Structure 1
Amino acid sequence: MTASLRPNGDRGTPLPRQQSKQRDAFFDNAKYLAIVLVGVGHAWGQILDGNRTVETLYRVVYTFHMPAFIIISGYFSRSFDLSPKRVKRLITGVVVPYVVFEVAYSLHRRYGDDAPDHDISLLDPTYLLWFLCALFVWRLTTPIWKTVRWPLPIALGIAALASMAPSVGNDLNMQRVLQFLPCFVLGLVLRPEHFALVRRRSVRIASVPVVAAAVAVAWWSVPRMETAWFYRNAPAQAADAPWWTGPVLTLALFGCSVVLTACFFAWVPGRRMWFTALGAGTIYGYLLHGFLVKAGTYEGWFQEPVLDQPLGEIGLTVLGAVAITLLCTKPVQRTLRCVVEPRMEWAFRRDAGEEAREREARPKTGAREAVEAREPNQKVPV
């Protein structure tokens, strides 16, 4: 940065490429706010029994918080291909954290919940780790969705079929992978102008009655509909419902998710806020906050009578938001980057294109040094 206080410094001197490429504040804000809702939702999930107000808010949040996160993940996966660079990033950013945290969560349950017989299984994701399994599968299939003509209708058809297919097993939590697939594919087909559209002032105003109506419907649904439908991790038959309710509810929930996600995006600020930088660390908050929730379950913290009172519920909500915010901060990122975002250069072959560029650069560098040695006072043109 030059002495000038202007972002671009001297107008005649362009910034280097690495400095001019900045993160979009809107998406970082959206990721942070979505991850806060994830943490708060998991806290609410421990006190639902007999609490219609909390369950109403819980259902509204569960309708859109993970779809919003998944849509953003799909949007930023548009450039994914099966090149070595992308595959390496998929392994270090998804596979390795999944293996590390699956083992960690399994050990946490084994010793924290006094369950010495609890197995460590990489095929049965623990708690929130299903998202990493899903992200791995979705990104691997991205070239397919970028090739077919009607990606979103096909993804909706697959999700609808999965919702009425008990034969889809629990390995890698495949029901969730398939039922949330349309959200990821929707992110793949979205463009910047679509996000600009939902951020218009008219959409922001219209979202208020829409969310109010959603809260009213959720309140009405509490005694009439199982909360498990919002998890999308089982076929209709698992809830003793007719097979045809699976596709109907899958399409209905997808529509509600899209509408409420649009309302959510409409209210996400587009400028830099105090929490914008935390958007880059949401994966840390996501992976780590589950230990706090599970520890509270194992230790019986959520059974405290105070949590049955409005002030206790508000306090738990604030505590959940603060905890997941702290887990997204830079100190946590620096401490755990070795397992959440490891580089692992030792585990991968060098890219052939990169090696070729280095070989081409070596003779030129040597020739330049030789000329400079012979003619030290003569400037060699670049």
Structure 2
Amino acid sequence: MSGVSAQSKDSFFLNLRFLLIVCVFIANALEPLIGINTWADRWYTWIFMFHMPLFVWVTGYFARLSLKGEAGGRVLLQIMAQYIIFQSLYSLLDKAFFHVQGLHHSFFAPYLLLWFLASHFCWRLLLLAMRRLPPAVQLTASITLGGLAGYLPFEGTWLSISRTFIFLPFFILGYHMTYEKISLLLTPRIRSAAIAMSLLLFAGAVWVSAHLQTGWLYGSMTYTELGHGEWYAGFYRIGIYMLQLTASAAFLGLVPLTSGWLSRMGSRTLYVFLLHGFIIRGAAASGIYTYVHTTYGIAFIMITACLLTVLLSLPGIKRAAHLFIEPNVDWLLMLFNRLAEFCPKSWRTASRIETKS
């Protein structure tokens, strides 16, 4: 594997990222039909076993090149800008066009899918705080924090605090992952076994949805909200981690290894992630779900979600939406460093965003 180029190494993770954003789109499109159609329940539950842990994992992998220094500061500022822009846009559309009732719009309560931006911001800060610790200690600490997060005495959706700690172990695992490590597990025999396991989990997804509250897979609810106020409820989280790790490892067997159009679209998943919510919201408001609740309707929704994912991954969408999805934050970077000049000399260096990574 030593002769594999850096681009080829990243292709696997880019391919994975695209397949995951397809799963995100499908799951969100199927959500209004949960409890109405068995096939919707099966696909939805199967996807939720792995798609969020794996998305956090692959995000951690790509954070390796931009965690510290100027690159890290720029990413943090960009995440903050994206959050402010899209939290405002989605809230405005809900109020002015979709007239959604019962939603609490606040910058301290991330709007639906925007929890990922808030948590990504925090994952980077937490990993920076732990960067001097050995990886094994980082992982142990993150699993402990993930288990303790369920005992919070307030709603876990506040600033996405529950998901931040619950999915932190996957971010740390991804950060310390290399292609050389993962390639050892990508032999034809292991991939075949992984695909078989993934199909087995899909077959058992209906049983899981009937016996396991989906909130455990969301990671956004405290143990009290899940109906488990016992002191030992944290051990249930360990069991969920094991299920998610198994489902995630199994799904990796479905990911192509070669570089190509899938990899190129995988480099533009941010656009699908931030824009597809408008389509989902519009579809829900249109009343289309009253006509597509049959098995054929489920197939139609899933195929449409796949096609729209491809559409939103096209270069033209990136050119059109680049300014507000990947806003230029250089001016914020300069402002931050200017303000740091007025800080006490004892911590000025720590406050300033370095110009070298």
- State whether TM-score is above 0.5: yes
In structure 1, distance between residues paired with 2:226 and 2:190: 36
Corresponding position of 2:239: 252
Corresponding position of 1:174: 161
* Preserved CA contact (<8 Å) 1:199 1:267: no
In structure 2, distance between residues paired with 1:102 and 1:154: 31
* Preserved CA contact (<8 Å) 2:39 2:295: no
Q: Provide the secondary structure at the position in 2 that maps to 1:236.
A: coil
1:336-351 maps to which residues of 2 (within 5 A)? 336-349=321-334
Equivalent of residue 293 in structure 1, options 270, 280, 295: 280
* Preserved CA contact (<8 Å) 2:37 2:294: no
1:268-287 maps to which residues of 2 (within 5 A)? 268-287=255-274
Deviation at 1:30, TM superposition (A): 0.9
Pairing 1:34–2:20 present: yes
In structure 2, distance between residues paired with 1:56 and 1:153: 32
Q: Provide the secondary structure at the position in 1 that maps to 2:191.
A: helix
In structure 2, distance between residues paired with 1:157 and 1:138: 15
Q: Provide the secondary structure at the position in 1 that maps to 2:54.
A: helix
User: CA deviation digits over 1:253-276, x for unaligned, max 9?
Assistant: 222222222222222111123322
Corresponding position of 1:86: 72
Percentage of matched positions with identical amino acids: 25
Corresponding position of 1:363: none
Q: TM-score, normalised by structure 2?
A: 0.85
Q: Provide the secondary structure at the position in 2 that maps to 1:255.
A: helix
Pairing 1:102–2:102 present: no
Equivalent of residue 152 in structure 1, options 123, 139, 142: 139
Pairing 1:240–2:227 present: yes
In structure 1, distance between residues paired with 2:314 and 2:285: 26
Q: Provide the secondary structure at the position in 2 that maps to 1:348.
A: helix
User: CA deviation digits over 1:218-257, x for unaligned, max 9?
Assistant: 2222322222221110111112224356423321222222
Q: TM-score, normalised by structure 1?
A: 0.80
User: CA deviation digits over 1:88-132, x for unaligned, max 9?
Assistant: 23212x111111000000011002222599664211111100000
* Preserved CA contact (<8 Å) 1:43 1:320: yes
In structure 1, distance between residues paired with 2:218 and 2:242: 15
Equivalent of residue 126 in structure 2, options 141, 148, 154: 141
Equivalent of residue 205 in structure 1, options 185, 189, 192: 192
Pairing 1:43–2:29 present: yes
In structure 1, distance between residues paired with 2:154 and 2:99: 32
Task: Label 1:81 to 1:211 Cα distance change in 2 as closer, same or farther (>3 A).
Answer: closer
Q: Provide the secondary structure at the position in 2 that maps to 1:248.
A: helix
* Preserved CA contact (<8 Å) 1:63 1:230: yes
Q: Provide the secondary structure at the position in 2 that maps to 1:223.
A: helix
* Preserved CA contact (<8 Å) 1:169 1:175: yes
Corresponding position of 2:305: 320
* Preserved CA contact (<8 Å) 1:236 1:242: yes
Equivalent of residue 329 in structure 1, options 309, 314, 339: 314
Equivalent of residue 67 in structure 1, options 43, 53, 57: 53
Specify the code of the residue in structure 2 equivalent to 1:254.
Y
In structure 2, distance between residues paired with 1:186 and 1:243: 29
Corresponding position of 2:202: 215
Q: Provide the secondary structure at the position in 2 that maps to 1:233.
A: coil
Specify the code of the residue in structure 2 equivalent to 1:153.
T
Corresponding position of 2:111: 126
Deviation at 1:139, TM superposition (A): 0.8
User: CA deviation digits over 1:56-78, x for unaligned, max 9?
Assistant: 22111101111111101111223
Q: CA RMSD in A?
A: 2.3
User: CA deviation digits over 1:186-239, x for unaligned, max 9?
Assistant: 112222222102221111111133123323432222322222221110111112
Specify the code of the residue in structure 2 equivalent to 1:85.
A
Which range moved further: 193-202 or 275-284?
193-202
In structure 2, distance between residues paired with 1:96 and 1:205: 42
* Preserved CA contact (<8 Å) 2:147 2:234: yes
* Preserved CA contact (<8 Å) 1:74 1:187: yes
Deviation at 1:327, TM superposition (A): 0.9
Q: Give the count of matched residue pairs.
A: 330
Which range moved further: 274-283 or 132-141?
274-283
* Preserved CA contact (<8 Å) 2:191 2:253: yes
Task: Label 1:334 to 1:49 Cα distance change in 2 as closer, same or farther (>3 A).
Answer: same
Bigger radius of gyration among the two: 1
* Preserved CA contact (<8 Å) 2:160 2:220: yes
Equivalent of residue 266 in structure 1, options 228, 238, 253: 253
Task: Label 1:81 to 1:275 Cα distance change in 2 as closer, same or farther (>3 A).
Answer: closer
Q: Provide the secondary structure at the position in 2 that maps to 1:103.
A: helix
- Higher RCO structure, 1 or 2 (CA under 8 Å, sep 6+): 2
Corresponding position of 1:13: none
In structure 2, distance between residues paired with 1:278 and 1:35: 10
User: CA deviation digits over 1:31-54, x for unaligned, max 9?
Assistant: 111100110111111211232232
Deviation at 1:169, TM superposition (A): 4.9
